[in-house]
Amino acid sequence: MLGHKEYLRVEHAGVKQALNETLRHRFNDRYQKFYNECARRLVWIENAIEALDPDEGAPSWISEQLTLASELITRMERSHLEEFAWPFAEELHDLARAITLPPKPLPEKKTPKGASDPRTTLKQINPPFFFFTAEGGMASYSVAVNSQQFPTQAHMDIIPVIFPRSLKEHVLLHVVLAHEIGHVAYRTNPRGATYKIAAHKLLPSIPKDLYDWCYAHLKIAHPTPILIAMERYNLWAEEFFCDLFGLISMGPSFIPALLALLGPRDKTKFHFMPTHPPLDARISFLGYAAEALSMQYSKHKDGTVKLPVAGSLDKSFDKRLKQARSTPAGKLIDKKTAMAVTRSVYSACSAVDGVVFPIPEAKLMTHLVKQLSRHLPPSAPEIRYSEDAVGYDIKEVDFRHILFAGWLHWSTLKERDEEDMRKINQLCSKAILHQNGISFWNENLHAVRDPS
């Protein structure tokens, strides 16, 4: 027979071999970090295996950690298959990384020579490592947060960002990944406590007898233990926060993307208490949040941007919003609470550079939408050259404005089909790639003279 210690050695050797093979497709500093982190974990696991008594049982966590390492490596291999819109992925990675950085460095503290500061851990020094991978199914958008737990603090979190393989090119729908990044910010980020305090202001609006409310309005068929009901109570607050984070970080594009993905899967009856609030509750909450943030840009108010081109998109959301607020779920969160929480979370997110959706310029958005109507990528509105040797100055466009332009153009089409959606997504993806090149030019080649 193969003893438990011998089997774990075999399993460990197999995972180690897979790790050594996983970088054969792509090798750079970023993926070197993934390799080093996994190698560090495998050394730690190997030491635990060797410390086992062959005549006694092995703790289950060793096998669980080997399984986790194997899953991570397999997902990393899949991420090499070019199954994702990589220009968008790079932008989303930068946003996710920004929101998970510590708010400020730890204050300096003198320690004896050769000693380490006990307040400093590798986890504090290294932000999480994000990578993108595909899975089957139309509803597979997710970020694996809890599965990355490792039984020591001396490590870097590895977080796979998962998207549906069948929607590879649909960058307009990939916007919903901001909701999943919200879970990372809420659960693992150093600022997570601030977000939780803001999100928990929603709890008084969520019925404390949540099971009874779900039984009455969602027709759940089975009883729910009290502990699970309490867990759902807090999970709903987290889900509302993640929707809000998606809106704050991605702007108005988040709403049509969320409705497109969740609408066909919306349920009127549930077997058990759902882990997510009903869709009507989420729509109503986002409506109040969009109002607080003045993100319905066709509705001009003093001091806000007016975008007439956003009229069709705003009207379609208003129609769905009216339906949602006519239901019990749509009345779950009141306007005053929703707007107060929105302002609190927006203030916290504003403290991080590059996270909050930048207010668009009317002239820019009109230009981007016009580009799409001409079947051109929505980018590079202005290219200027100065004769005083400054060089070319190419205006950069935030990738979120490109995505917003995509949704605006889609909403204005009177006759449209899936081919139109595919083309718009392709053009937006190319525009984001263009912007990566423009950013590189402006950062590194700004002073190049006109060759003529």
SS3 184: helix
pLDDT at 30 over 60: yes
Lowest mean pLDDT among 34-38, 392-396, 418-422: 392-396
Shortest CA distance to 397 belongs to which of 430, 429, 438? Answer: 438
Lowest mean pLDDT among 51-55, 99-103, 314-318: 99-103
H or E stretch covering 364: helix 362-373
Lowest mean pLDDT among 53-62, 274-283, 347-356: 53-62
Q: Cβ distance 378 to 368 under 8 Å?
A: yes
Please report, for the chain, the start and end positions of each structural domain, with discontinuous segments joined by +.
Answer: 4-101+125-187, 192-350, 362-444
Hunting for tokens 């694996």 — which residue is that?
144
pLDDT of 372: 95
pLDDT of 28: 66
Hunting for tokens 């730890």 — which residue is that?
106
pLDDT at 45 over 50: yes
Q: Cβ distance 213 to 233 under 8 Å?
A: no
Q: What average pLDDT does this structure show over 22-40?
A: 75
Distance CA 216, CA 67 (A): 41
- Mind listing the pLDDT tens digit for each residue in 421-440? 999 999 999 999 888 887 77
Percent of the chain with pLDDT strictly greater than 90: 29
The type of residue at 178 is A
H or E stretch covering 432: helix 418-444
Distance CA 401, CA 362 (A): 11
Distance CA 409, CA 403 (A): 10
Distance CA 429, CA 406 (A): 10
- Mind listing the pLDDT tens digit for each residue in 111-167? 444 444 433 444 445 677 887 877 777 667 888 765 555 655 446 778 888 888 888
